[in-house]
Amino acid sequence: MNSKTTEKDIVIDIQKIKNDFPILKRQIRDNKLVYLDSGASTQKPIEVINAHTEYFNQINSNIHRGLHTLAEEATNAYEKTRTHIAKFIGGVKTCEVIFTSGTTESINMVAYTWGEANISEGDEIVLTDMEHHANLVPWVMLAKRKNAIIKRIPITDDGRLDLDDIDSIITEKTKLVAVTHMSNVLGTLNPIKQLAEIAHKNGALILADGAQSAPHMPVDVLDMDVDFFAFSAHKMLGPTGVGVLYGKENILEKMPPFNMGGEMISEVSFDRITWAELPHKFEAGTPNIAGVVTFDTALTYLENIGMENIHAYETKLTAYTIDKLLQIDGLKIQGPNNSINRGGAISFTDKNLHPHDISTFLDSKGIAIRAGHHCAQTLMKRMGTIATARASLYIYNDEADIDALYDALIAMRKYFGHE
Ligand code: 7TS
């Protein structure tokens, strides 16, 4: 794959994209930055950075309350992003798009509102063995509060969901299936549509954690038929502190609110309080207006490249990366070692070196990866390790970045005497 428009369906101008991200020009320890930690947070194109400044230079105001021009413009800009997201995730109603501070808050919102109202003693909540703590801790704590039961879908040794016994895991006792769309550690892409069908057949709801999928591929929540879908702006070129909870209208309507305060009410007296209409019922207080407004520009940037294109490009680059890493003796890929149904979060371990040492050595060459348990301690236990090194890709990465990673890993093994 060359840098520009080669594979039949992939149209990516990688040099232009790289130029759009000012931070990629930075030197880290006398090396040009190679950023392979987008699973943690992505870098921002100049358009997004400018949109943030522009908001404060031209529009800054509170929303949904003022009658002056700035208040109206800020409200319109904020709501424009909501409309954009509704379209971006498959054409849902705007009242089904709730702004939160991130995936973590989106999932907690469901656990504390829907969960408190609907989970009782003996009910079952089904998770998987590859969940990020954000989609695990809220459910485990809810189950503790309610005397409910957590069940888990196991994984195979190569990091896929093992659905062999799914009929005994998701049953009529199941109230909720909460599963990651794409694993932040293994890269595995899970069959959400199939799981939604099984969940619904059993009268359960399904929540998909889209933190790692929404940035990298087309997402259609209606086609997957999920009841809830959560994701974060900062993992898709947008600002930190902004996330989304999509929920089906009829379910959100019945859910009690999460945070209480201004903007989420209709009428307030000391005797009786009524809630605002969706989506405002779930957006108490002054939200991250600048962040939400800026997120619109990030979505446009992604759409201009095309989500299909992004997915195809990253799948190719993932295959290239796996192929390179497999050439290094003593290195093990933790997760599927092919690019089928997986994304570009690629974890690996070295039989002689701790992932922290790998990350520190790579940093000395200007290469940013993540090392640790990746907020997935139960998955680490299942994999028989306590930590992995993880390279995670995005649209501004290319084969040269992967070659730099490969060369640095070879140099590292030499440096530590493990050639
Ligand atoms: N779910 C998944 C699958 C994630 O990967 C993450 C963050 C979250 C939820 C939480 O998202 P947040 O925006 O609310 O923090 N994952 C990572 C990661 O892999 N490295 O750093 C953060």
- At residue 66, the pLDDT reads 80
% of residues, the chain, pLDDT over 90: 95
- At residue 10, the pLDDT reads 81
- At residue 418, the pLDDT reads 83
Catalytic residue among 265, 375, 410, 411: 375
Q: Residue with the nearest Cα to atom 18 of ligand 1?
A: 40
Distance CA 380, CA 378 (A): 5
Q: Residue with the nearest Cα to atom 6 of ligand 1?
A: 211
- At residue 1, the pLDDT reads 43
Provide the pLDDT confidence category of residue 5 given band limits of 50, 70 and 90: very low
Amino acid occupying residue 133: H
Averaged pLDDT, 128-142: 98
Q: Which of 207, 334, 375, 393 to mutate to test the pocket of ligand 1 (most atoms within 8 A of CB)?
A: 375
Residue range 7-46+307-415 forms a domain whose CATH class is alpha beta
Residue 375 among the catalytic residues: yes
Q: What is the pLDDT of residues 52-73, one digit of tens each?
A: 999 999 999 999 888 899 999 9
Structure tokens at 267: 């009428």
- At residue 65, the pLDDT reads 82
Amino acid occupying residue 375: C
Distance CA 136, CA 142 (A): 10
Q: Residue with the nearest Cα to atom 20 of ligand 1?
A: 40
| Residue listed under structure tokens 């570009």 | 344
Yes or no: say if 268 and 130 are a contact pair by the CB < 8 Å rule.
no
Q: What is the pLDDT of residues 276-307, one digit of tens each?
A: 999 999 999 999 999 999 999 999 999 999 99
Residue from 155, 191, 150 nearest 173 by CA: 150
Atom index in ligand 1 nearest the CA of residue 183 equals 3
Q: What ranges do the domains of the chain cover?
A: 7-46+307-415, 49-303
Query: At residue 190, what are phi and psi to the nearest 5 degrees?
Result: -95, 150
Q: Are strands 174-180 and 149-153 parallel, antiparallel or unpaired?
A: unpaired
Q: Residue 182 has what DSSP assignment?
A: B
- At residue 339, the pLDDT reads 93
Yes or no: say if 231 and 242 are a contact pair by the CB < 8 Å rule.
no
- At residue 8, the pLDDT reads 61
Residue from 227, 267, 234, 268 nearest 249 by CA: 227
Q: What is the pTM of this model?
A: 0.97
Q: Which of 103, 105, 129 to mutate to test the pocket of ligand 1 (most atoms within 8 A of CB)?
A: 103
Residue range 49-303 forms a domain whose CATH class is alpha beta
Q: Classify each residue of 193-206 as buried b or exposed e, where b means 16 or more C-beta atoms within 10 Å of its C-beta.
A: eebbebbeebebbb
Atom index in ligand 1 nearest the CA of residue 106 equals 14
Atom index in ligand 1 nearest the CA of residue 105 equals 14
5 CA distance to ligand 1 centroid (A)? 31
77 CA distance to ligand 1 centroid (A)? 27
293 CA distance to ligand 1 centroid (A)? 22
H helix intervals, 306-346: 307-326
328 CA distance to ligand 1 centroid (A)? 28
Q: Residue with the nearest Cα to atom 16 of ligand 1?
A: 40
Provide the pLDDT confidence category of residue 3 given band limits of 50, 70 and 90: very low
The answer to whether 7-46+307-415 and 49-303 have equal CATH topology is no
What are the CA-CA distances from residue 47 to residues 15, 103, 134 (Å)?
16, 24, 30
Q: What is the pLDDT of residues 171-218, one digit of tens each?
A: 999 999 999 999 999 999 999 999 999 999 999 999 999 999 999 999
Q: Which residues contact 168 (CB under 8 A, 6 or more apart)?
A: none
Q: Residue with the nearest Cα to atom 17 of ligand 1?
A: 40
211 CA distance to ligand 1 centroid (A)? 6
CB under 6 Å to ligand 1: residues? Answer: 39-40, 102-104, 132, 134-135, 180, 184, 209, 211-212, 232, 370, 374-375
38 CA distance to ligand 1 centroid (A)? 10
Provide the pLDDT confidence category of residue 49 given band limits of 50, 70 and 90: very high
Vertex 255, ends 202 and 140: CA angle to 5°? 65
